[in-house]
Structure 1
Amino acid sequence: MQATSSMISYAETALDWGVMGTLGLMSVVTLWLFIERMMFFKSVRIEDYKHRDDLEMDLTDNIGIISMIGSNAPYIGLLGTVVGIMITFYSLGDIGTVDAKKIMMGLALALKATATGLVVAMPAIVAYTIVLRKVERILAKFDVAHEEV
């Protein structure tokens, strides 16, 4: 009984640090890449580029990572929820009694991972959309500048 209780405690700790830590890291990376891209866009000089493809490659550098984070953060949160529900059911089965309070607390803690995944994903998708629109605007300015020449 003591070993099972410590195993459940370890699983809950691993869930919190693993899933929530991964989502936290994804959030920091998204913010960092968004700020880096915005700083690059402010400093880019379209007259330094001869070919549109070279400019486009520099402008779109690392934005796929922002998109990937926005797409996958809900799945990581969902994984945390599934594992949290499994831990809840396992601990209830181990105790042998049905305790509504324990079930509700376990499910609420499990759903925290899904909510966090969504909280990470939504700003990442917004950041990706903003960055993509900025790329389109800079490329349009490049096209206009080269049509005049």
Structure 2
Amino acid sequence: MTPLTMLLQATQVEPLAEDAAATAEALPAGADAAAAAGALPTDLDVWSLILHASIPVQLVMLLLLFASIASWVIIFRKKRLLDRATKEADRFEERFWSGAELTKLHAAATERNREIEGLEAIFESGFREYARPRRSVDSRSRLEAAQRGMRVAGSREIDGLEQNLEFLANVGSIAPYVGLLGTVWGIMISFHGLANVREATIATVAPGISEALIATAMGLFAAIPAVWAYNRFATRVERIASRYEAFSEEFSSILERQSSEA
């Protein structure tokens, strides 16, 4: 082995002072970054965002909450009402077209002063007007009186079925805009607070924007079920109304035939 080779092996390479300082600074910085990343919140606390929102935004959220609760109450009640109206119409049409006498059906509808609704109420009103004793009244006038009575009764029944549908329509159309109003107000407050901050970062405005966006989410939460329920219930009411109208026409034809035979 030559003396030059032995000299190179015995020589130790020492790091430069600048590289050693950079390495020493990099380690704490990396450790601090890891610690900061671990300290960042990973879960979205919606309740905390609501509590820390500004007073106007909280009022908007409270209004939307009341609207949502009222909408769900109306939805469940309206579903029970329409289901009952459909079942009642099925039962009465089965009795009506089974060949029972009109006088017996009318007597069953008026017995014990029980409350009647739907097709039975329309039938009772029309037959009562038709059978009401009158002096010097021809059959045509009796038939017209029965038709007027059925129209009035039918309108009354449809009005009862359509009750509170307007509220669902209003919630479905207005709730998103009310939520957007709360969001705009919250974002405006967040950016207004940056006037006293020298360096604005996303971490500065993120909490305020998150609080404000909760209002939009609540507006959609209230609007979506209301719109769906309104469209569904309005369609069912139209079908029931067509069913009532068809029955009135058929019953009028029966009364007209009886008047002709008499």
Asked if these proteins are the same fold (TM beyond 0.5), I'd say: yes
Q: Distance in 1 between matches of 2:198 and 2:158?
A: 61
Match of 1:29 in 2: 70
Residues 104-126 of structure 1: CA deviation (Å, up to 9, x unaligned): 22222212211221121111100
Match of 2:83 in 1: 42
Candidates 177, 185, 204, aligned match of 1:102: 204
Q: Distance in 2 between matches of 1:59 and 1:73?
A: 24
Q: Distance in 2 between matches of 1:24 and 1:61?
A: 22
Q: Distance in 1 between matches of 2:54 and 2:182?
A: 12
SS of structure 2 residue aligned to 1:98: coil
Match of 2:88 in 1: none
Task: State the AA in 2 paired with 1:36.
Answer: R
SS of structure 1 residue aligned to 2:167: helix
SS of structure 2 residue aligned to 1:30: helix
Match of 1:4 in 2: none
Q: Matches of residues 50-69 of structure 1 in structure 2 within 5 Å?
A: 50-51=150-151, 52-69=154-171
Match of 1:92 in 2: 194
Deviation at 1:13, TM superposition (A): 3.9
Q: Distance in 1 between matches of 2:202 and 2:176?
A: 28
**Which one has the largest radius of gyration?**
2
Q: Distance in 2 between matches of 1:91 and 1:11?
A: 15
Q: Distance in 1 between matches of 2:198 and 2:60?
A: 28
Q: Distance in 2 between matches of 1:98 and 1:57?
A: 58
Q: Distance in 2 between matches of 1:111 and 1:41?
A: 37
Aligned residues between the structures: 140
Q: Matches of residues 106-145 of structure 1 in structure 2 within 5 Å?
A: 106-145=208-247
Task: State the AA in 2 paired with 1:38.
Answer: K
Q: Distance in 2 between matches of 1:43 and 1:100?
A: 56
Q: Compare 22-31 and 138-147 and name the one that shifted more.
A: 138-147
Match of 1:12 in 2: 53
Residues 71-92 of structure 1: CA deviation (Å, up to 9, x unaligned): 1000110001111011101211
Gaps of at least 5 residues in structure 2 are 1-50, 86-117, 123-149, 252-262
Residues 4-47 of structure 1: CA deviation (Å, up to 9, x unaligned): xxxxxx99341443111111111111111111112222333222
Residues 36-72 of structure 1: CA deviation (Å, up to 9, x unaligned): 1122223332221322322221111111011000010
Q: Compare 113-122 and 126-135 and name the one that shifted more.
A: 113-122
Q: 1:108 to 1:13 in 2, by over 3 A?
A: closer
Query: Does the 8 Å CA contact 1:11/1:87 hold for their aligned counterparts?
Result: no
Gaps of at least 5 residues in structure 1 are 1-9
Deviation at 1:96, TM superposition (A): 4.1
